[in-house]
Amino acid sequence: MHGALSSLSARTTASGILTIDLAALGRNYAALSTRLAPTIAGAVVKADAYGLGADRVAPVLYAHGCRDFFVAHLDEALALKDVLAGDVRLFVLNGLVPGAEGRCAEANIVPVLNCLDQATRWAQQAAMAGRELPAILQFDTGMSRLGLAESEVRTLTDRPDLLAGVRVLFVMSHLASADEPDNEQNPAQLAAMRRLADRFPRAALCFANSGGIFLGAAYHGALARPGIALYGGAPTAGVANPMTPVVRLDVRVIQIRTVPAGTRVGYGGVHVTSAERRLATIACGYADGFPRHLSDRGAVYCGDVRLPIVGRVSMDSTTVDISALPDGTLAPGSLVEVIGPHQSLESIAADAGTISYEILTRLGPRYHRCYCNHQEPS
C-alpha cells in the first residue's frame, strides 16, 4: 500500500508523466518477429532501452520470446543479468575496452569485435580461460564507424591463429541508410556484407536493424537487431509508421497569464506578441530533453488544439500560446500533450530538426515514468 501511495504521490507532483505502454512494446516485438520469420528477432536495449528503463523493458521482451539482447557497453549487459533468465544471450555492440575481457568472459557475455586489437585481446582471454569464447565479428561495409575494414578481415582469414579459441557466432554490419529504402547505399552494403561474410562460411549473418527489417528478406540474415521500431518509432522515413506507439508524454502547466500586444516573451525577447495573448508556462525545458531548437517553432496539444511554442525554450520551462482554447480550459497543474496521439516522436523531431532517437533517449529523469498496458494517462 505504501508503494502504491508513493507512486500516486509522484504522479501527482511530478512535472510531467511519461507513460510507457508495455503491451504495445510486446505487440511491436511480436509484429517484427512475424515479419522476420524464420529470422530470429533480437532486441536493442542500449541506453537504458532508449531511455524507457531496460529493467522494465527487457523482461517484457523476454516474455514475448526474445532471447538475444544488444547493448552498447559491458556495464549495460552486466546490469541486465540481474533481471533476465540465464538462457539469454547478451551482446556488447561497442566491444570491450582493454582490461574488460576477464569480466566479460566470467559473465558469459558476448562481445562484438570491431577491430584486430579487440579480436586479439579476446583470443588471449580464451587462452587464459582455457576454453572457447563466443563473439560476433563486425565488418565495416561503408559506414566508417565501427567494424573491421576489409583488409583486417583478410588478415583474420589469412591468419586463423589470431582467432584461436574464439567461436564466431555471427558476422554483422550496420546499415547506414536503412530508413531510406531507395538509398543506393543499402544494396551496396548488402553486396559488401555478402562478400566479406563468404570468408566466414560457418558464421551466421546478423545484419538488419529496424529499417533493414523492412528492406526485405535479403537483408534479414539469421538474427536481426530491431531498436527504434520496438519503441514505436518509424523504421522507414516518408511512409506511414507500422509500429504501435509505446510512449506518451504529458507535462504540467505551471502558470497562466494574459499579456497585451507588444509583450516580449522569453530569453532575449525574441518573440513579441502581435495582439493580446493568453500564455501558459509548462514544466519542461531542454534539461528534460525538450530541444531548444523547438523555440518559436514547435508545439504541444490540449485535446485537438495545437498550442504553439512562443519564445525560447528554457532549461526548466517553456511558454506556449493557449489563446485558441476557451478561457478556463487549462489551469496550473493541468496536463498538456507533448508526445501522444496528436504529436508523434517523428513530428516533434522534425520540428526540432533532429531524429526520433534523440527525442526518445533524452526524455529526462524528472518525468514520472508510468508503466502500464494502455496509452491514456489517468
- Could you give the CA distance from residue 291 to residue 294 in angstroms, rounded to a whole number? 6
Looking at residue 340, the DSSP 8-state letter turns out to be B
Per the CB < 8 A criterion, the answer to whether 280 and 266 are in contact is no
Q: Single out the residue of 79, 83, 56, 29 nearest to residue 210, CA to CA.
A: 29
Residue 78 has phi, psi (to 5 degrees) of -60, -40
Active-site position among 29, 46, 50, 231:
46
Q: Is 331 exposed, middle or buried (0-12, 13-18, 19+ CB in 10 A)?
A: exposed
Q: In sequence order, what E strands does 139-237 have?
A: 166-172, 204-206, 223-224
Residue 338, all three cell numbers? 507533448
Query: Dihedral sign, CA of 309, 317, 24, 6?
Result: negative
Q: What is the 3-state secondary structure (H, E, C) of 299-323?
A: EEEECCEEEEECCCCCCCCEEEECC
Q: Single out the residue of 352, 286, 349 nearest to residue 318, CA to CA.
A: 286
Radius of gyration of the chain (CA): 24
Q: In sequence order, what E strands does the chain have?
A: 16-21, 40-41, 43-44, 68-71, 89-92, 110-113, 133-138, 166-172, 204-206, 223-224, 247-259, 264-265, 271-272, 277-282, 299-302, 305-308, 318-321, 335-339, 368-372
Active site residue 46: yes
- To 5 degrees, how large is the angle CA 318–CA 324–CA 329? 80
Looking at residue 159, the DSSP 8-state letter turns out to be -
Active-site position among 29, 219, 267, 357:
267
Which residues are designated catalytic?
Answer: 46, 267
